[in-house]
Amino acid sequence: MTPLVRLDDASIGHGGRALLQGVSVVVEPEEFLAVVGPNGGGKTTLLRTLLGVLPPLGGRRTAESRLRIGYVPQRDHVDALWPLDCGDVVVMGRVPGVGPGRRIGAADVEAARGALRRVGLGDLWGRPFGTLSGGQRQRTLIARALAAEPRLLALDEPTNGMDPSAELSAMDLLRQLHGAGGIAVVMISHRLEAVANYARRLAFVDKDQGLWKIGPLDEMLRPEALSHLYGREVIVREEDGRRFVYPVAGGERP
């Protein structure tokens, strides 16, 4: 398959200063990639470089011609006091595809309604955005991204600040959207357990360690691989069909 986007031996950073070097990653059409690392470790910079918002400082980025991307920002970066209804927010996802001199039309509204139904909020079309719960606002932002009919859905910390139940619900939704086909998912998170049972591939990023490592899920969940990310001994257990990761107390590497 032809990749949607790729970085080859890229240096990523901003302001002319590289945070990480030697970054290579290929996003295929059926990808579900989770990028994990500490806060401030370079995850968002990597995502922005992958999406073409930031140019690589070295190496190369290539992407499918006219690649349609749906982007979901961190929920706490979106003003919950927007004086907009839920449906208005989702319709915003259609704006990039509207040509010059053209206005949002009935087909755009119907596509937005369909996107809201896909995330299970079809009955909240006219509800003020600010009255939604945190989980509902996140689903609305995902619907806004889906309204663009993307080939690549990119999410920045989509479960940040959620309680465990809402986190599981959000990740189940992403698995459902990915499983329906036709869309690749790339998300970043500082919580490995939020993605360990969902992604197909994992990437570890930490600029302070100069760490960039990517591989299949099973390979990346081995204790020896995880120890590089956490800087200490790690135990991986499976309970009721789910994987859990436990950094060992007092297990700092010398």
Q: Average per-residue pLDDT in the chain?
A: 90
Q: Which long-range contacts (CB under 8 A, 24 or more apart) does 206-210 make?
A: 206/37, 206/38, 206/41, 206/42, 207/19, 207/20, 207/40, 207/41, 207/42, 208/38, 208/41, 210/20, 210/21
Sign of CA dihedral 132, 134, 136, 137: positive
Average pLDDT over residues 103-119: 94
Lowest mean pLDDT among 20-24, 92-96, 155-159: 92-96
Domain boundaries, the chain: 1-67+154-178+186-254, 79-150
CATH number listed for the domain at residues 1-67+154-178+186-254: 3.40.50.300
For residue 92, the tally of other CB atoms under 10 A from its CB is: 17
pLDDT of residue 100: 64
- The DSSP string of 144-182 is HHHTT--SEEEEESTTTT--HHHHHHHHHHHHHHHHTSS
Q: How confident is the model at residue 202 (pLDDT cuts 50, 70, 90)?
A: very high
- Name which of 133, 135, 89, 132 is nearest 112 in CA terms: 89
- HEC string for 51-97: CCCCCCCEEEEEECCCCCEEEECCHHHCCCCCCCEHHHHHHHHHHHH
pLDDT of 78 strictly over 70:
no
Other C-beta atoms closer than 10 Å to the C-beta of 135 total: 19
Q: Is the pTM of this model over 0.75?
A: yes
pLDDT exceeds cutoff 80 at 75 = no
pLDDT for position 253: 47
The predicted structure's pLDDT at residue 63: 96
Per-residue pLDDT at 250: 64
pLDDT category, 254, cuts 50, 70, 90? very low
Residue 200, pLDDT score: 95
Backbone angles phi, psi at 183, to 5 degrees: -145, 135
The answer on pLDDT for 126 being more than 80 is yes
pLDDT tens string 16-62: 999 999 999 999 999 999 999 988 999 999 999 999 999 999 999 99
